[in-house]
Structure 1
Amino acid sequence: MTTAPVTRSTLVRGMAALGVGPGRTVLAHASLSRFGYVAGGEHTVCLALEEVLGARGTLVMPGFSPQLVHPAAWRPARLNGADPVALADDMPSFDRASTPVAATIGVVAQCLRAMPGTRRSGHPHTSFLARGPEAEAIVADHPLEYRLSTLGPLGRLWALDAVVLLLGVSWSKCTALHIAEYLAPYPGRRQGRWPVPVAGPAGVRWVEVPELVVWEGDFERLGRAFEQARPESVRRRRIGDADCVAVSLRSLVRFAVRWLPAHRDLRGLADPPGWSAVEPATGVLPGA
């Protein structure tokens, strides 16, 4: 830690300097530890975001739960010889209210999930959390297929001209960039059938749905290229020890749609475990 403790006021001033103001819709990704010591912890960050957005603003964060993916997608070391089908039959179903946000997403999102009035979309792997006047409209419909396309909450964020806010996290965590993967016909783009758990009277059943093979491996390079090409579209500020960025979701995705075909080639990438019938995705996908 190199700075004084970070307070709610520190965070509000910093986010206001990033151009985040009352009435905006924000898709935020946050790492609490990157700020240094935050007085009041993750709750302080959530309250600061709400304060800077005001009563007319809407706060959105990923509420992802990858702990509920089918065991067939686990690393072999984690399976340790166990039968993935038997494990899958004994896994819990997704519950909007009680399923925890994965630790890899961060404690700030977990805090937002637990706050009264927060809404959550219904995808068992990639739900989104939202608070504010647009929250219900954003999370109301989240299809099982093409989960990070404009068919789901990311599409409503596009329509609302949302701001992407990276608080102490890199471009590799920028979920909005997945929209471009459904839009851009880059080499090696492919889709398959992906199993998702659905709650039923007899317990969890697994349903295979069509899905694009998404990849974050070049998001950092993509984000840096955007900053170099569109410096006027990116606001950066240091809040505590955290490097923070604010950018228009639409501007970023439009750039990514042009960048991916010229700079990404996934033809040598192995098919991910857990998928079936993986095949090229050369045409326009639903939700693109």
Structure 2
Amino acid sequence: MTEGDAVERTPEPITTERLEADLRDLGLSAGDTVLVHSSLSALGWVSGGAPAAVDALMGVVTAAGTLAMPTHSTQLSDPTHWENPPVPDEWEERIRETSPPFRPELTPTRGMGAIADCFRDYPGVVRSRHPTTSFAAWGADADVVVADHAYDSPLGERSPLARLDELDARVLRLGVDANTSLHLAEYRADYDKSFETNGGPVLEDGERRWVSFEEPESEDDFRDVEAAFEEDHEVRRGRVGEADATLLSQRELVEFGAKWMEENR
């Protein structure tokens, strides 16, 4: 969506104050722990762009709460798995040898949206160390969320997703369908999983090295899980700016998702 499209479908500029009011109407409160997935363009034409959205989220949650976002950098992943676009087979080893190491303070996100990419640079925001699947966090429990993100647990028990689950986080989606928390359900579900090898470059003691790890192969059924979840669990729905928004319990979703996958995969 272009900026012109956003102007055409927005009756008036979306301000930080408007976003704060809409977030509170949806049910977000000071002191909440929340994992955010977002699309800036879905919000409409926002006065000030991504920083206005980050300011609104911080203003509502406050420093007494915790705000987290996925800040994945799949441009550093094993090119064997790349599809958008794929690269020639003969390039792959050269890419693994030469791609710059992940550095939390400067590596950009890929496919996470403008709000998440802006958020990672904010004062007081900390970011986990995973080369492909990092998360950034701000607020009271930010350090707890991002600490000790194991290379071999991108979205599992030693990842920020599990820490957010322990903190009884809520999942906020602003104009997107993404729901990273269901990957944690994949790790926890007991079914016959297939695993694939991935990896990425890291910087340790001033030296670049490539780390490899196994992760469960995901299946294209997350929307089916969510539809079943919504039949008997609370999902708050509303509008934030011009975006459709949802707010739900991560813990409830992950627990339900794991059981659903055991029964249906």
CA displacement at 1:249 relative to structure 2: 0.7
CA displacement at 1:157 relative to structure 2: 0.5
Matches within 5 A, 1:1-288: 1-75=9-83, 78-80=86-88, 82-102=90-110, 104-170=111-177, 173-186=178-191, 188-199=192-203, 204-215=208-219, 217-230=220-233, 233-264=234-265
1:279 — aligned with what? none
Question: Contact 1:3–1:36 (CA<8 Å) still a contact in 2?
Answer: no
TM, length-normalised to structure 2: 0.90
Structure 1 segments unaligned to the other structure (5+ residues): 265-288
1:272 — aligned with what? none
Q: Distance in 2 between matches of 1:137 and 1:200?
A: 21
Question: Contact 1:165–1:247 (CA<8 Å) still a contact in 2?
Answer: yes
1:230-280 CA-to-partner distances (Å, cap 9, x unmatched) read 2xx11000123210000011111111112112333xxxxxxxxxxxxxxxx
Question: Contact 2:66–2:142 (CA<8 Å) still a contact in 1?
Answer: yes
Q: Distance in 1 between matches of 2:149 and 2:218?
A: 17
1:284 — aligned with what? none
Q: Distance in 2 between matches of 1:76 and 1:131?
A: 31
1:48-105 CA-to-partner distances (Å, cap 9, x unmatched) read 0011112201110001000001222224963235331122211100001010111x11
Distance 1:204 1:85, change over 3 A: farther
CA displacement at 1:200 relative to structure 2: 5.0
Q: Alpha carbon RMSD of aligned pairs, Å?
A: 1.9
Distance 1:197 1:3, change over 3 A: same
CA displacement at 1:189 relative to structure 2: 1.6
What SS is found at the alignment partner of 1:6? coil
What SS is found at the alignment partner of 2:184? helix
What SS is found at the alignment partner of 1:223? helix
Q: Distance in 2 between matches of 1:93 and 1:43?
A: 27
Structure 1 runs, 4 residues or longer, greater than 4 Å off? 200-203
What SS is found at the alignment partner of 2:120? helix
Q: Distance in 2 between matches of 1:191 and 1:81?
A: 21
Distance 1:42 1:210, change over 3 A: same
Question: Contact 1:120–1:129 (CA<8 Å) still a contact in 2?
Answer: yes
Distance 1:79 1:262, change over 3 A: same
What is the identity, as a one-letter code, of the residue corresponding to 1:116? P
2:5 — aligned with what? none
Q: Distance in 2 between matches of 1:88 and 1:72?
A: 10
Percent identical pairs in the alignment equals 40
Distance 1:201 1:164, change over 3 A: closer
What is the identity, as a one-letter code, of the residue corresponding to 2:215? E
1:143-189 CA-to-partner distances (Å, cap 9, x unmatched) read 0012101211111101110010001111xx11111111011123x52
Question: Contact 2:10–2:45 (CA<8 Å) still a contact in 1?
Answer: no
1:34-60 CA-to-partner distances (Å, cap 9, x unmatched) read 111111111111000011112201110
What is the identity, as a one-letter code, of the residue corresponding to 1:181? E
Question: Contact 1:146–1:212 (CA<8 Å) still a contact in 2?
Answer: no
TM, length-normalised to structure 1: 0.84
What SS is found at the alignment partner of 2:86? helix
> How many pairs does the alignment contain?
257
Distance 1:36 1:207, change over 3 A: same
What SS is found at the alignment partner of 2:237? strand
Question: Contact 1:144–1:196 (CA<8 Å) still a contact in 2?
Answer: no
